[in-house]
Amino acid sequence: MIWRASVPTSRRGAAMEGEYPHEPPSVHSAEGKRCRDPRVARLLSPHSKLCASSSVGGVTAAGQADACPSQGSASNETRNRKPETSQWRRVVACWLVVALSTLTACIRQDPLPADSGMRLVSTAPHLTECVCAIGAGHLLVGRTATCDYPPEVVSEIPITGDFAVPWLEPLLAVRPTHVLETVLSDPALRDRLTALNIPVVHVPCTRLDQIPDALRQLGVLCDRSTRANQLADDIQSGIERARQAASSYQARPRVLLLFAPDVSITAGPNAFVTTLLELAGGVSVGHDLEADYPRVSLEWIIAQDPDLLLCIFETTLPPLEVYARQTGWRSLRAVRSGRVYTVTDLNTVSRPGPRVLDGIAQIKVVLDQDAERFAKQSPTPDRP
C-alpha cells in the first residue's frame, strides 16, 4: 500500500427517483414515443402547468380543457378571448413543444453497446488490473482516481470515484450493469445501488491466496473463464515456487516495512506485503503485531533493531536520507550502515492483483542486492 493522505470526498449526490435508465418512467409524449427522462416526463404529464398551453398530453392549441379537468371552468372565458390572444397562445404552445423536443433530444442517453451488454465500474485499482488482465478491460466504463494500470486502457475510462468510495452521480452517468468491490467505505452504498437495480459484486481479494480465486470469479462474470483460469493457475504455480525457494534460505534478514516517512506505520503478519516479503526471503519484525497496518512507536522500532528498512511509500529523497535526518532513527544499525531501500514499482507490492509475482521478484532483488553488499555480515537469526 502506497501511503497517501486521505482526503474526504465531497462529490456525492442522490439520483432522482426513476432517473436510472434501467427503470424509465411510464410516460409517453404526444408523438407516442416513450420518454426516458423524469424531468421531461414531468413536463409532459397531463397534470403539468403546461397542460393548458400546449398540445402535449392531448390538450389542443386552442386551449381545450378535456384532458385538464382543472381548466374546465375557464372554457367559456377561453371562447370569448380575442383572436390575437388565441393566436399568441398558439405561438407560445408551438415554441414550448419545440423546446421540449430539443431538450429531450439533448438529454437522451446513447444506447448501450451490443457486445455482452455488460458495463463494469471498478472501485479499487487491483480490481481494475484483474479485469484488464483477463482481457475484459473493454467492459470497464468507470474506475477510481487511483487506477493507473494498464495506462493505455485506464486512460480512456471515466473516473467515477476514489478507492472504495464511488461517487453516485458520475457512476450513474456511465450506466453500469455491475459495480465491483472488495470493500466499500460506506456499506450503505451497496443498498443504494441495489435499490437502483445495479448489482454490487463482492470480489474478495485482499490476501495473497485470494488472488487466483478472484481472477476466476471475474472470468465467470465477464465470460473470460479460459484466460482467467490460465492466469490464475500461472500465479498459483509462481507462488508455490517462491514458497519452496524461501523455505531453503539459510539466513533471512529481519525487515521493518514502513508506509510513511513521517508516521511509523508498519505491517502485521497478515498484511499482503508481509506475505510477499516472506516469499522473497525476508522476515518482518512485525510478526507479533495483531493489526494489518499498525502504528508503532520509535521506541518499539529501536528495540526491534531490524537488519534493514524497506520503504513502501513515495518520496523525492533517497530512502536513506529520509531517516538519516530524523532524530532517533540514526541509532538503528540499518540506518547507520545504509541498509534502507525501496522497490521499483510500489504498486506491485501493495496491490493484491495479477502482478503479484512481479512484486515478489522486486522485493527479492532488494534482498539479494543487500546480501551481496553485506556478505561479510551475518544477519540476525530469525526470532520466533
Phi, psi of 105 (to 5 degrees): -65, -35
42, 47, 50, 53: CA torsion to nearest 10: 150
- Does any domain span residue 356? yes
Average pLDDT estimate for 269-297: 96
Residue 44 has pLDDT above 90, yes or no: no
- Domain, as residue range, for 142: 120-227
149-206 pLDDT, tens per residue?
999 999 999 999 999 999 999 999 999 999 999 999 998 999 999 999 999 999 999 9
Of 161, 192, 227, which marks where a domain is finished? Answer: 227
- Does any domain span residue 257? yes
Residues 255 and 362 placed together within one structural domain of the fold: yes
- Does any domain span residue 384? no
- Does any domain span residue 13? no
49-73 pLDDT, tens per residue?
333 333 334 433 333 333 334 444 4
Q: Which residues of 80-96 are buried (b: 16+ CB within 10 A; e: fewer)?
A: eeeeeeeeebbeebeeb
Of 107, 130, 151, which marks where a domain is finished? Answer: 107
Per-residue model confidence (pLDDT) at position 376: 58
Per-residue model confidence (pLDDT) at position 107: 38
Residue whose entry in the numeric block shows the C-alpha cell 485506464: 154
Q: Give pTM, 2 decimals.
A: 0.69
Beta-strand pair 165-166/159-162: antiparallel
Q: What CATH number corresponds to the domain at position 302?
A: 3.40.50.1980
Average pLDDT estimate for 334-362: 97
Determine the longest span between alpha carbons in the chain, in angstroms.
110
Cα–Cα distance, 353 to 131 (Å, whole number)? 10
Q: How many domains does the chain have?
A: 3
68-87 pLDDT, tens per residue?
344 444 444 444 445 555 67
Residues 90 and 145 placed together within one structural domain of the fold: no
Q: How many CA atoms lie within 13 A of 82 on its CB side?
A: 3
Residues 255 and 332 placed together within one structural domain of the fold: yes
